[in-house]
Amino acid sequence: MDTTLGMGLVDQIYGAAAGELEWSAVLEGIRTVTDSRLVSLLSVSSDNVPAAFTAAGDSAGWAQDCLTAYGSRFVDVDPCSHALMGWTEGRWFRDDLHLSRFTRERGVFHQEFLKPFGMGGWSGVFVEKGPSGGTFLAMFGQPDNPAASLPNTLKEELVAHLGRARRLEARLANAETRQGLSERAMHALDQPLLVIDSQRTLLFANEAGARLLSQQSREIRFVHGRLATPHPMDDATWRAACRAGRLRFGRDLQADLTPMPQTAKSSLEWREPVTLVCLPKPRSSRSSAQSHLIDVCKLSEGEAAVCLMLAIEGLSIADCAEKRAVSLHTIKTQLRSIFAKTGMRRQQDLVRYAVSYTHLTLPTTPYV
């Protein structure tokens, strides 16, 4: 088993996000890397009902038979629907660790679905998850084999790249186009985007990115045509940042780095590998961020205020109670309601969720 995805497979992942490749081709690559019998991407609803998105197996026909059988006969007896309730993004699931021995040895799902189709133990992870649902990667092992114990590096890369690619795919879909990473699609996004080559030279900026650069920020700028950061950066540092998928420009500014497939259909011609730099949107005002939480997450005005106190100011729940002049019991009641509406279980996950959806900076102070 390989310990990393390899740049070829990473390139395919973002090619699928751009609409250039089928996701089944990506899953076939993951199947090879992880020595799995079947690999599937599942679209999971907010109430944890899975629906097969696509899959790759020993053959396309066999993989489709698996999906058809699962959707028609076994989705209702899948024990993981219950086991994964409240499961957070990035946390790995293994049937031998998180399901009982009785369920695995006597349950309908394992004995009438996995075993007849020649699949062993399985593992999986939410590569991205939000209040409306998420995308779950499932990998089924060879017959009579337990779920594979993947190297940590490989697990981290799968979550980072697949999650980022699925979010990018959603952004492009919202931009009213699936014609790859076209100039029109990129300009339509309100997310600041830059395209940079291996020499860190700026090749393209969408309208939001150009506005950000025009502000002459001290944190992100170009010197002699090359991307510069507050801290010295050489080519090796840039390559390491691209592999990690993120680059910090300053204490409050971090960008996602996405390798762009050379084969992606685009009205922008790039003759060498390039990197898409996704920068945070300009900070929302507190009022607009609060409106966002109320409109999208259906929080009450008081719940949204508490959520922002946790996310923006890094206050403890006791501090929130004091600042709002209410009892600690009231804040805890509001927090339980926030958890129920957002599908979060932990306060740290809630803060990260609020930050990602309001484009604010993650607080560095404790939340409790």
**Per-residue three-class SS string for the chain:** CCCCCCHHHHHHHHHHHCCCCCHHHHHHHHHHHHCCCEEEEEEEECCCCEEEEEEECCCHHHHHHHHHHHHHHHHHHCCHHHHCCCCCCCCEEEHHHHCCHHHHHHCHHHHHHHCCCCCCCEEEEEEEEECCEEEEEEEECCCCCCCCCCCHHHHHHHHHHHHHHHHHHHHHHHCCCCCCCCHHHHHHCCCCEEEEECCCEEEEECHHHHHHHHCCCCCCEEECCEEECCCCCCHHHHHHHHHHCEEEEECCEEEEEEEECCCCCCCCCCCCCEEEEECCCCCCCHHHHHHHHHHHHCCCHHHHHHHHHHHHHCCCHHHHHHHHCCCHHHHHHHHHHHHHHHCCCCHHHHHHHHHHHHCCCCCCCCCC
pLDDT at 363: 38
List the end-to-end C-alpha distance of the chain, in Å, as a whole number: 41
> What pLDDT is stored for residue 42 in this prediction?
85
The owner of tokens 């959707």 is 71
Average pLDDT value over all residues in the chain = 78
Among 260, 278, 296, the domain boundary falls at: 278
Strand order in the sheet with 92-94: 50-56, 38-45, 133-140, 122-130, 92-94
**Worst-scoring range by mean pLDDT, 133-147, 187-201, 244-258, 293-307?**
244-258
- pLDDT surpassing 70 at residue 278: yes
Say if residue 28 is in the same domain as residue 168.
Answer: yes
Q: Are residues 305 and 229 in the same domain?
A: no
Query: Which of 200 and 81 is assigned the larger pLDDT?
Result: 200
Q: What is the mean predicted confidence (pLDDT) over 169-174?
A: 68
The number of distinct structural domains making up the chain is 3
Let me know if residue 88 belongs to a domain.
yes
Do 60 and 168 reside in the same domain of the chain?
yes
Does residue 19 share a domain with residue 124? Answer: yes
Judgement on whether residues 167 and 81 belong to the same structural domain of the protein: yes
Q: Bridge partners of 122? A: 140
**Cα–Cα dist 330/314, whole Å:** 19
Say yes or no: 106 and 32 in one domain: yes
Categorize the per-residue pLDDT at 112 as very low, low, confident or very high, splitting at 50, 70 and 90. Answer: very high
**367 pLDDT band (50/70/90 cuts)?**
very low
Tell me the C-alpha distance between 137 and 124, whole Å.
Answer: 5
Residue % of the chain over a pLDDT of 90:
12
In a domain, 363, yes or no: no
Instruction: Give dist(CA 89, CA 348) in Å, integer.
Output: 12
Q: What's the token pair of residue 89?
A: 């993004």
CATH code: domain of residue 346: 1.10.10
Structural contact between residues 254 and 280, judged by C-beta atoms closer than 8 angstroms: yes
- Average pLDDT score over residue span 115-124: 91
Say whether both 160 and 217 belong to one domain: no
For residues 151 and 37, state if they share a domain: yes
* Range among 238-252, 300-314, 317-331 with highest mean pLDDT value: 317-331
- Whether residues 34 and 108 fall in one domain: yes
Tell me whether residue 257 is in a domain.
Answer: yes
Is the domain of 261 the same as that of 340?
Answer: no
Tell me the per-residue pLDDT of 52-88, one tens digit each, with 9 for 90 and over.
Answer: 578 899 888 899 898 888 888 888 888 887 777 778 8
Angstrom distance (rounded) from CA 89 to CA 92? 9
Asked if residue 324 and residue 201 are part of one domain, the reply reads no
Q: Are strands 133-140 and 38-45 parallel, antiparallel or unpaired?
A: antiparallel
Q: How confident is the model at residue 3 (pLDDT cuts 50, 70, 90)?
A: low
Q: Which residue has the higher pLDDT, 121 or 360?
A: 121
- Could you tell me if 163 and 127 are in contact, meaning their C-beta atoms sit under 8 angstroms apart? yes
313 confidence band (pLDDT: 50, 70, 90): low
In a domain, 97, yes or no: yes
Report the C-alpha gap between 162 and 178 in whole angstroms.
18
Last residue of a domain, one of 157, 174, 191: 174
- Rounded to 10°, the helix 23-34/152-174 angle is 180
The label of the residue with tokens 């409306």 reads: 132
Let me know: does 143 contact 54? Beta carbons within 8 Å: no
**CATH at 150:** 3.30.450.40
Query: Does 367 map to a domain?
Result: no
Contact status, residue 289 vs residue 360, Cβ threshold 8 Å: yes
- Of 278, 294, 315, the residue at which a domain comes to its end is 278
Question: Residue 13: inside a domain, yes or no?
Answer: yes
State the Cα–Cα distance between residues 326 and 181, nearest whole angstrom: 49
Domain residue limits at 351: 286-358
Residues 304 and 271 in one domain: no
Domain with 196 in it: what CATH number?
3.30.450.20
This prediction's pTM: 0.54
